[in-house]
Structure 1
Amino acid sequence: MTGHDVRTESLTIRARDGYPLAAHAVVPERPKAAVLISSGTGFPKEFYTRIAEHGAARGFACLLYDYRGIGGSVPESLRGFKADMTIWGRRDMPAAIDAAGALAPGKPLFTVGHSVGGHLIGFAPNADKALAHAFVNVGSGYWGKHAAHYKPQALFFWLAYGPACLAALGHIPGGGLWGGTALPKGVFTQWRRWCFQPDYFCGELPDLRPNWFDDVTAPIRSWGMTDDPIANRASTPDLLRLYSRAPVEEIWLDPAELGQTVIGHQGLFTRKGEAFWPKPFDWFEEVMDRGEATGP
């Protein structure tokens, strides 16, 4: 690992419609590239601090942020708050892409997307500013392709726990049986609808315009864990095929390859996944070394 003087900074990003988004930058003194790290659903930006610090120590300026209604971007009240995943993609992610690029002007820009962070690339009109996309645990959310042991938990969340929370509170509260951050009602209901469709949101794409899945041509490297009950070998190709013009590569890792017994859907961003952290940045350096990368 290359040593770099690193500064950290909390900042506010204005989404495309002006909504304030909480963000955190981890920036080396002389960055060689910028990386936007986009969260999975219900994961606050702080969850990704360790991998961002690893990247910054290697010369990559990393930006973490919370979508509206999540973590530090939550409003005073979630009751009646308007947010869904397409808004995250069309309004929030584009602003974060611009803000990440501004951390290293004239340098290459890359993205790391965890779970829904990979879904949203196709809804961001400026995703073409990034020269490569690293997907981590990204797959369709269709419940029928979850691992068998996980299906009862998923169905309980969608059909019992979630609706009860909406009836009582108007949103999904953080923690409890859900375990993640609070979720706005619109995020939950849209996500649930997609997760009960075998083609996830693919069949809705004509009605989810504008979107830019067919415009993404930068390479995508998708890392998955063999013990991930959600983004698995059955569901990941369903999502990746949406990026029809992008060169796509799938890499599957067993927990034992990382010195662990269990990794699952989010463990790659915890201490358990420390052996994984170099992989996206190694790949970004390969892209730059091949001369494929220039500043946006």
Structure 2
Amino acid sequence: MEFTQRQIAVGDGQAIQMRLFAPPGRIKAGVLIAAAMGVSQTFYAAFAGWLAAQGFLVATFDYRGIGLSRRGGLRDLDTDILAWARHDCAAAIAAMDEQIDGRPLYWIGHSLGGQILPFVPGNDRVAKMVTIATGSGYWRENAPRLRRMAWWLWYVAAPVATTICGYFPGRRLRKVGDLPAGVMWQWRRWCLDPDYAAGAEGPDARQAYAALALPIVSLSFTDDEFMSARNTEALHGSYSGAPRRMKRLAPAEVGARRIGHFGFFRRDFEDTLWRCHLLPELV
């Protein structure tokens, strides 16, 4: 799969890396893929290349401190999730807007990527959001497998490791991946609040969720090891001003043994999840 890579200034002295996957002919629309927490844009390359072959100009990008946008150590990186949204995601939308000449722009948000659009300046440029395996991270409503370890993560591992190291050493702990300290502290606050970001960030955040008015399609999976059905319903319930369509799929419905939290983006699902369940939404 071919792509071009470029550096995008994000307006506060920082920059992120973006990859553009261009279609072979006329551009139908733009697609911006917003990654899950701690996941590099390289994870989405096969999916982005396939979408480009369907006629879309597709962009992937890394939040500052993550993947290709990481520059050196994380101890001195002063950022949090809201900075990712307000600066990095906003710059990604602006960069795509320059490329697609007024055509529709679709936002595909994987997990965290489907949670943060309300905080992104310029989100009115997005025609539709498709969320993949996205829900609230409130730990008491997590899927059983995650809930068993969530208390230890949020009350022991995360605060202790982040304080000692100056960032969250997730790679060494085999949890999520390395994250800037500000990101981890803020994410922890969200996951400990029953209303997740809408509760932890106060009334303005709740209003931002309610104010998002674009159509939203949720694709979630019964075997997601992180997000329960309740997580998914709770997060999308915050989008009270948006027309929402919820599709919860079992692996057997697409002839698979497993999908989980990350499986949607495997090329194995090109003819099922990608072509049958995702592509019809990008119209």
Q: Could you tell me the TM-score, scaled by structure 1's length? A: 0.88
2:174 corresponds to 1:165: no
CA shift, 1:236, in A, is 1.1
Of 95-104 and 122-131, the range deviating more from structure 2: 95-104
Which of 208, 212, 215 matches 1:216? 212
Q: How many Å apart are 1:121 and its aligned residue?
A: 0.5
Aligned residue in 2 for 1:8: 3
1:129 aligned to which of 119, 125, 131: 125
Read off the aligned partner of 1:20 and give its amino acid letter. Answer: A
Deviation at 1:219, TM superposition (A): 0.3
Q: Give the corresponding residue for 2:105.
A: 109
1:19 aligned onto 2:14: yes
Looking at structure 2, the residues matched to 219 and 209 of structure 1 have their Cα atoms a distance apart, in angstroms, of: 19
Paired letter, 2:273: F
Question: Letter of the aligned partner of 1:182 in structure 2?
Answer: D
Instruction: Give 1:74-85 correspondences, 5 Å limit.
Output: 74-85=70-81
Q: Deviations over 1:212-271 (max 9, x none)?
A: 333321100000000113322111121112222110110001011222212111111123
- Deviation by residue 1:5-24 (Cα, 9 ceiling, x = unmatched): x7410111111324100111
- Compute the RMSD of aligned alpha carbons: 2.0
1:169 to 1:273, Cα distance in 2 relative to 1, 3 A: farther
- Alpha carbons 1:224, 1:232 under 8 Å: kept: no
Secondary structure of the equivalent of 2:173? Answer: coil
Residue identity opposite 2:278 in structure 1 = P
Quote the Cα distance in structure 2 between the aligned partners of 1:118 and 1:188.
Answer: 18
1:3 match: none
**Deviations, residues 187-224 of structure 1 (Å, cap 9, x unaligned):** 11111111111111222343656973333211000000
Match of residue 243 from structure 2: 247
Partner of 1:291: none
Structure 1 residue runs of 5 or longer lacking an equivalent are 1-5, 286-296
Name the CA shift for 1:181/1:9 in 2 (closer, same or farther; >3 Å).
farther
Q: Is the 8 A contact 1:26 1:63 kept in 2?
A: yes
Residue by residue, what CA displacement relative to the aligned partner does 1:37-79 show, whole Å, maximum 9, x if unpaired? 0000010001111111111000001000001111111232211
Gaps of 5+ in 2: none
Partner letter of residue 280 of structure 1? Answer: L
- Rounded Cα–Cα distance in structure 2 between residues aligned with 1:276 and 1:16: 36
1:276 partner SS: helix
Find the residue that maps to 1:187 and give its secondary structure.
helix
Equivalent residues in 2 for 1:13-92, closer than 5 Å:
13-29=8-24, 30-92=26-88
Instruction: Give me the identity figure in percent.
Output: 35
Which of 177, 188, 191 is the aligned partner of 2:187? 191
Runs of 4+, deviation exceeding 4 Å: 207-211
